[in-house]
């Protein structure tokens, strides 16, 4: 039986933000998806987490059912401010935050500004690009071409070219929801991968947490792990050795195993 409860909207940082809620019992858990992942595409993970947590999955601005408009600011700082004001509006004084990819960078920036809000910080394969560093390995065109297809109408099979390792049900969700991702918002985020210095945020993190990386993702390399270990030694590190960047899509079992070990709950 599904543990999905409802979707809801919150006005925070001057815009409407949409979230999906699962479970409703246990410690509060906020899930921050990646650059082109509307909240609904993380539903399969939220369902599993909802066995133990009160899970809320955010549609970032410019994605899913959240606010989207031409000319909007969808920068890292603004998305981090969205998350912090969302917590203020909802009266959340403590929350476990899991961020994947772009969502992990948003979580880092938000935690650097207000670390006391977060009980745990779970960072899943954050892009380690930045000023003077190697570029993010996925070009912007990969995102924009697939979004343009989705705007016209695309099948799951036609999207398989972009994500050949995914199961059909995940491709179907992506085909259904990718058109909600604003190309302008995605371009800002992708530019931010190269212009925003999250390495400067890492020493400011007080929140204990986990850094999970993909063994086959090419986003976080061994030298990055060594640097992060120096900048944020309190982050426990683990690797999903057989997975690409979209870890729960590539190796769902290992993702739950590693996450469950850290959180001390059975997610398998």
Predicted confidence (pLDDT) at residue 206 exceeds the cutoff of 90: no
Which residue, chain included where needed, has tokens 């997610």? Answer: 267
Predicted confidence (pLDDT) at residue 23 exceeds the cutoff of 90: yes
Q: Provide the CATH number for the domain around residue 126.
A: 3.40.50.1820
Does 214 reside within a domain? yes
- Count of domains in the chain? 1
Does 93 reside within a domain? yes
Predicted confidence (pLDDT) at residue 101 exceeds the cutoff of 90: yes
Q: Quick one: pLDDT at residue 43?
A: 98
| Helices 183-195, 102-113: inter-axial angle, 10-degree rounding | 60
Does 207 reside within a domain? yes
Condensed to tens digits (0 to 9), the pLDDT of residues 153-172 reads 999 999 999 999 999 999 99
Beta bridge partners of 123: 99, 211
- Residue with the bigger pLDDT between 207 and 39: it is 39
Does 164 reside within a domain? no
Does 165 reside within a domain? no
Does 68 reside within a domain? yes
Does 40 reside within a domain? yes
The residue range of the domain holding 27 is 4-133+196-263
């Amino acid at each position: 039986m599904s543990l999905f409860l409802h979707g809801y909207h919150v006005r925070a940082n001057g815009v409407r933000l949409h979230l999906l809620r699962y479970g409703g019992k246990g410690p509060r858990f906020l899930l921050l998806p990646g650059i082109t992942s509307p909240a609904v595409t993380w539903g399969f993970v939220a369902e599993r987490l909802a066995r133990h947590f009160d899970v809320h999955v955010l549609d970032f601005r410019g994605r899913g059912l959240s606010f989207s408009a031409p000319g909007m600011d969808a920068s890292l700082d603004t998305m981090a401010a969205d998350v912090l004001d969302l917590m203020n509006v909802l009266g959340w004084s403590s929350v476990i935050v899991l961020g994947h990819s772009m969502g992990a960078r948003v979580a880092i920036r938000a935690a650097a500004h207000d670390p006391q809000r977060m009980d745990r910080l779970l960072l899943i394969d954050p892009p380690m690009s930045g000023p003077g560093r190697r570029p993010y390995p996925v070009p912007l065109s990969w995102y924009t071409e697939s979004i343009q297809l989705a705007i016209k109408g695309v099948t799951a099979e036609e999207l398989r070219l972009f994500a050949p390792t995914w199961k059909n049900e995940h491709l179907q969700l992506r085909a259904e929801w990718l058109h909600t991702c604003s190309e302008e918002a995605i371009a800002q985020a992708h530019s931010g991968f190269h212009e925003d210095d999250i390495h400067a945020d890492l020493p400011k993190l007080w929140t204990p947490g986990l850094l999970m990386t993909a063994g086959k993702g090419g986003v976080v390399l061994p030298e990055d792990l060594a640097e992060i270990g120096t900048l944020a030694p309190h982050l426990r590190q683990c690797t999903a050795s057989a997975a690409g960047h979209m870890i729960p899509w590539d190796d769902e079992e290992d993702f739950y195993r590693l996450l469950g070990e850290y959180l001390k709950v059975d997610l398998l």
